[in-house]
Structure 1
Amino acid sequence: MPRILSSLLFLAISSAQAQINVITLWPEGVPNARPDPGPEHVDGDRISNVSQPTLTMYPASFDRPAKTAVIICPGGGYGFLSFTREGQQYAQWLSHIGITAFVLKSRLSDYGHPAPLQDVLRAIRTVRAHAAEFGVAPDRIGIMGSSAGGHLAASAATLFDHPDGQTGAPLDAVSARPDFAMLMYPVITMTPTTTHAGSRNALLGATPSAARVQLLSLENQVTANTPPTLLMHSQDDDLVPVDNSILFYQALTRAHVPAEMYLFEHGGHGMGTRPGLGTASNWTKRAEEWLHDRQLIVQ
C-alpha cells in the first residue's frame, strides 16, 4: 500500500488543538464528474454544490488518545451540508473524548444517488486502508450522521457491499463496512408517508422507481451484518418523523443486531449540541456511555 502522503492530497489547516488535514477522496478523479460544476457555495454553516468530496480530519486529543475513528456525515436534506453544526462541532466533541473524527463533504442533489453512497463508502475505505497512518485501528471505524446525513450513514451501515457504492477503483477491495453507527434524528425510509420529502426528492428525484425507493428505504436493508447502532431522536421532530428511527430500531432488533435508542420528548429537529433542550441536550453523555460500554473509548 503506497504511503498516504504520496497518494492523497493534504491541505494543512492550523487549529488551536491539533493539526487538521483535509483529504481529497478521489485523487484519481471523481466518478461521473460533472463538466464545469462551478465553485462550492458557502453560506454561513451551509456548503452546497460539492464537486470535490473530502474528509476533514480532527485527531484525538493528545491527553485522551484512542484507536477509534468516526466518519461524520452532516445533514442538510441532500441539498446542502450543515458543516459546522452537524460536522465540526461533533468532530470537536469526539476529539475531546479521544476519538479521531473525519467530517465528510459529499456530493449532493446535483448528483443524486449513487454519488453520496460512493463518497461515504470511499471515505470508510480510505480511513481503513490508511488506519495505521491515521493512528486508528482498522476494526474500530464508525459512521455518524444527522438527518439526511443520518440516512447516508445508515446507507453505509446497510449497503456497504452494494454494487452502487463501487466504482471499479482498486480501493473497492477494502471493506467499507463500518464497525458501528451513531444516527442522529436520521431519515431512514423513502416511503412517502414517513420520509422527509425534501431528502427523498434531492436524492432520488421527483419520480423515483419502486426499486430505488425499496433500496434506499434502509429499514428494508438491515441484515445480521449491519453493525451495532445507536439512535437518537425527538418525539417533537416536525421535519423527520421519529418513526424513522423506530423503523430502523425494529429492523435491527429483528436481525439481532445490538442497538440502543434514545427518544426524547423535546429537542425538535437539528438539535446538534445546543443547550436548553431538556434531556435531549445531554445526548452526548448517553453516547459516551454507549461508546464506553462498547469499549470504543476510555473514561
Structure 2
Amino acid sequence: MKITVLFLMITFTAFVRGQEKLEMYPDGIPNTKEGVDLGENTPELYFYKPLEAKHKTSFLIIPGGGYSHVAMKHEGHDVAKALSDLGYPAFVLRYRLPKADQMLDKRVGPIQDAQQALAYIRSNTKMLGIKRGKVGVLGFSAGGHLASTLSTHFETDYLNKGLSAAILRPDFSVLVYPVISMDDGITHKGSKNNLIGPDLFETDSTRFSNELNVTKNTPPTYLVHAIDDKGVPIENSKRYLKALKENGVEGKLFIYDTGGHGFGMINRTDARSWLDDMIGWLNKTKT
C-alpha cells in the first residue's frame, strides 16, 4: 500500500513539474463582449519546466487548427515535452479562436493572446524559476500564421498596454507548414475565412499576409514544409523566406519531399528530424 501511494505521489509530482497551467490574464481577458462566457474558448498557457534547465532560450509553442480548433497535443504538449527533455523551458498557448459572437474584434483575438503570452514569459522569469534569455516562437499551420503575425506585427501593441516592440518581438521564429499569406492563390481558405471573414476586405488580406509585413527587424526564421502539402502550399514558406532574404534577415527552409500537412514533430515518410536540424540552426544563428 505504501509503495502504491509513493508511486502515485511521484507520478503526480512529475506531472506537476512537467506541466503547469499559468494565469495568463490576471486582470481579465481583453476584447470580450460584455456578459459573454468564453467557455472552451478561454485562452490558456501551459509551462513545461525542464528537470535540468540546460539553456536560457525558451520556446512559446502555438499549435495549429485552421483557426477553428487548436491541436493541443501533437502540435503543442508533445512538442513542449520534447523541448523540455532537451533542457529548454517551453510554453504551450491555447489561444482564442476568432469568434464574432464573443469578441469586439475577432481578427485580433489570437494575436492579443500571443502577445500576452510572450510578454508574460518575459516578465515572469524569476517567478517561473528560469533564466532570463531569448524567447522564440514555434508555430504550426494556422499557429504558424499566428507566430508569423507575432513576428511581423510587434510594432503594434494589440493589448493597448503601452508595451514596447522589444517586449513584443520574438527573438526567433520557427514556422512549421505555416499559413503565411491571405492571397487566395496559396492561402488556407478555412484559416482565412475564420480569421478575417466572412466579409473579406482587401485591407485585412494585406494586413494579415505576413510575407508583406517582413522588415529588416523581423526575427531570424526557420521554416519547415513538405512539397506535397495540399492543405497549405509550400509557396507560403517560400514567399516568407524570399521576403526575409530581401530584407537581410537570416532564414532557412527545411524541405521534405513528402509528408503532407499536419505531421507535427515527426514526418513518418522521411527519417530526417526537422527538430534536430532546427536546434542546430538555432545554435549557429545570431538572434
Contact 1:125 1:174 in 2 (8 A): no
| Superposed counterparts of 1:196-211, under 5 Å | 196-211=188-203
| CA distance 1:56–1:14, shift in 2 (3 Å) | farther
Deviations 1:224-243 (A, max 9, x none): 11011100000010100000
| CA distance 1:125–1:131, shift in 2 (3 Å) | same
Structure 2 residues not aligned, in runs of 5+: 1-11
Tell me the distance in 2 between the aligned counterparts of 1:173 and 1:23. 23
Give the TM-score, by structure 1 length: 0.84
Deviations 1:15-64 (A, max 9, x none): 34825221122111111224333531xxxxxxxxx1x31210001231x5
Residue type matched to 2:278 in 1?
A
Contact 2:178 2:232 in 1 (8 A): yes
Residue type matched to 1:166 in 2?
L
Could you say what secondary structure the match of 1:263 adopts? strand
Tell me the distance in 2 between the aligned counterparts of 1:198 and 1:183. 19
| Superposed counterparts of 1:273-284, under 5 Å | 273-274=265-266, 276-279=268-271, 282-284=273-275
The answer to whether 1:71 aligns with 2:96 is: no
The answer to whether 1:26 aligns with 2:35 is: no
Tell me the distance in 1 between the aligned counterparts of 2:147 and 2:110. 10
Counterpart in 2 of 1:234? 226
Could you say what secondary structure the match of 1:145 adopts? strand
Deviations 1:219-264 (A, max 9, x none): 0100111011100000010100000000000000000001111111
Deviations 1:180-220 (A, max 9, x none): 11000000000111100000001001222211110100001
Give the TM-score, by structure 2 length: 0.88
Q: How many residues align?
A: 270
Shift of residue 170, structure 1, vs aligned partner: 6.0
Counterpart in 1 of 2:155? 161
Contact 2:228 2:258 in 1 (8 A): yes
Residue type matched to 1:286 in 2?
D
Tell me the distance in 1 between the aligned counterparts of 2:274 and 2:14. 26
Residue type matched to 1:272 in 2?
G
Counterpart in 2 of 1:8? none
| CA distance 1:227–1:136, shift in 2 (3 Å) | farther
Shift of residue 135, structure 1, vs aligned partner: 3.9
For structure 1, which segment, 247-256 or 52-61, has the greater mean C-alpha deviation from structure 2 after superposition?
A: 52-61
Tell me the distance in 1 between the aligned counterparts of 2:84 and 2:165. 29
Tell me the distance in 2 between the aligned counterparts of 1:85 and 1:29. 29
User: Identity over the aligned pairs, expressed in percent?
Assistant: 34
Counterpart in 1 of 2:95? 106
Tell me the distance in 1 between the aligned counterparts of 2:90 and 2:131. 13
| CA distance 1:38–1:131, shift in 2 (3 Å) | closer
The answer to whether 1:192 aligns with 2:184 is: yes
Counterpart in 2 of 1:10? none
Contact 2:174 2:222 in 1 (8 A): yes
| Rg comparison, structure with higher value | 2
Counterpart in 2 of 1:87? 76
Shift of residue 294, structure 1, vs aligned partner: 3.2
Contact 1:67 1:135 in 2 (8 A): no
Contact 2:24 2:117 in 1 (8 A): yes
Residue type matched to 2:19 in 1?
I
Deviations 1:142-189 (A, max 9, x none): 0010000000000011001214x233x366687111001100000000
Counterpart in 2 of 1:146? 140
Contact 1:129 1:174 in 2 (8 A): no
Counterpart in 2 of 1:286? 277
The answer to whether 1:269 aligns with 2:261 is: yes
Structure 1 residues not aligned, in runs of 5+: 1-12, 41-49
| CA distance 1:68–1:29, shift in 2 (3 Å) | same
Tell me the distance in 2 between the aligned counterparts of 1:86 and 1:254. 30
Residue type matched to 2:148 in 1?
A
Report the structure, 1 or 2, having the larger helix content: 2
Contact 1:66 1:136 in 2 (8 A): no
Contact 2:69 2:97 in 1 (8 A): yes
